[in-house]
């Protein structure tokens, strides 16, 4: 144990009680000790242990853990959304250029069959519609891309868009079918069918499907609020996505 210093010392010359932290008596000037005792400054501080370097885990590889998606960035899905956003910027600069060359807008195609696909990237000035449709594309495109890869998600989007626009043309000689509600439903249905078939094969992924059904209903009902969206395009896109998901599911990596 560390001994505590005395409360006072007695001067041998004048017998006065003086502080133990002085070397000379303040009353008579007699030297009472050679040096003052060392003042303790509290308990010694223990050194902190050195920080451990953070360890980082490698990215999860495809198939490394069954049922867990590989950690890959959905570049294909991002590209689809970027193209749609870029089309919106072009539309803001030149509306007629986009409407005349990229959309199914009630006029005959006259051989411009690319419009069956490009119309899915155009949302005109319907920002609410565009936000909902592209959010669905982002969510289910990411899911599909992590399951099947980049080419699959882009091909599914394009085929669903073309199938939806084609059905709209078949049901109406001069349809208006603008936006990605059909293509988004195609991605959603492809993912949902693969999930359903996997469950039948005994691979229950235990996904919560309530949000999926909400997305599907909203995308189907968008034409009630936005005249430029087409309900037949939505139905056609959903049908194409269902077929693609059923074909691809047994070959899932």
Please check whether residue 125 lies inside any domain of the structure: yes
Sequential pLDDT tens for the chain (253 residues): 444 556 677 776 676 777 777 777 776 666 667 665 665 555 555 666 666 656 555 555 555 555 445 567 899 999 999 999 999 999 999 999 999 999 999 888 889 999 999 999 999 999 999 999 999 999 999 999 999 999 999 999 999 999 999 999 999 877 899 999 999 999 999 999 999 999 888 887 778 889 999 999 999 999 999 989 999 999 999 999 999 999 999 987 5
pLDDT recorded at residue 183: 97
Please check whether residue 63 lies inside any domain of the structure: no
CATH number at residue 113: 1.20.1540.10
Contact residues for 202 (Cβ-Cβ < 8 A; gap 6+): none
pLDDT recorded at residue 103: 94
pLDDT recorded at residue 29: 63
Please check whether residue 28 lies inside any domain of the structure: no
Task: Check: CB of residue 220 under 8 Å from CB of residue 124.
Answer: no
b/e string for 20-34 if b means 16 or more Cβ within 10 A? eeeeebeeeeeebee
Contact residues for 6 (Cβ-Cβ < 8 A; gap 6+): 20
Please check whether residue 18 lies inside any domain of the structure: no
Domain count, the chain: 1
Please check whether residue 222 lies inside any domain of the structure: yes
Task: Check: CB of residue 159 under 8 Å from CB of residue 215.
Answer: no
Give the separation between CA 85 and CA 126, rounded to whole angstroms: 12
Query: Where are the alpha helices (H) located in 66-180, listed in sequence order?
Result: 75-93, 95-102, 115-118, 127-148, 150-171
Please check whether residue 59 lies inside any domain of the structure: no
Contact residues for 140 (Cβ-Cβ < 8 A; gap 6+): 184, 187, 188, 190, 191, 215
Give the separation between CA 185 and CA 182, rounded to whole angstroms: 5
Give the separation between CA 177 and CA 233, rounded to whole angstroms: 7
Chain centroid to Cα 201, Å, comes to: 29
Range of the domain at 128: 76-251
Please check whether residue 39 lies inside any domain of the structure: no
Contact residues for 223 (Cβ-Cβ < 8 A; gap 6+): 181, 229, 230, 231, 234
pTM for the predicted model, two decimal places: 0.72
Please check whether residue 189 lies inside any domain of the structure: yes
């Amino acid at each position: 144990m560390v001994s505590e210093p005395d409360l006072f010392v007695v001067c041998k010359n004048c017998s006065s009680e003086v502080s133990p932290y002085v070397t000379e008596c303040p009353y008579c000037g007699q030297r009472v000790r050679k040096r003052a005792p060392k003042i303790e400054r509290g308990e010694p501080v223990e050194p902190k242990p050195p920080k451990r370097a953070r360890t980082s885990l490698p990215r999860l590889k495809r198939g490394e853990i069954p049922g867990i998606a590989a950690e890959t960035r959905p570049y294909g899905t991002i590209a689809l959304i970027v193209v749609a956003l870029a089309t919106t910027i072009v539309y803001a600069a030149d509306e007629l250029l986009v409407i005349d060359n990229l959309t199914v807008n009630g006029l005959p195609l006259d051989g411009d069959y690319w419009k069956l696909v490009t119309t899915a990237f155009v949302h005109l000035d319907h920002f609410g519609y565009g936000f909902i449709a592209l959010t669905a594309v982002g969510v289910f495109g990411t899911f599909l891309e992590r399951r099947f890869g980049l080419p699959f998600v882009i091909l599914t989007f394009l085929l669903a868009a073309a199938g939806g626009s084609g059905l709209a043309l078949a049901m109406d000689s001069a349809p208006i079918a603008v936006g990605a509600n059909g293509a988004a439903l195609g991605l959603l249905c492809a993912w949902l069918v693969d999930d359903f078939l996997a469950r039948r094969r005994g691979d229950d992924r235990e996904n919560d499907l309530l949000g999926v059904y909400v997305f599907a209903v909203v995308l189907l009902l968008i034409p009630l609020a936005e005249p430029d969206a087409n309900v037949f395009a939505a139905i056609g896109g959903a049908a194409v996505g269902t077929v693609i998901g059923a074909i691809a599911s047994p070959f899932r990596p």
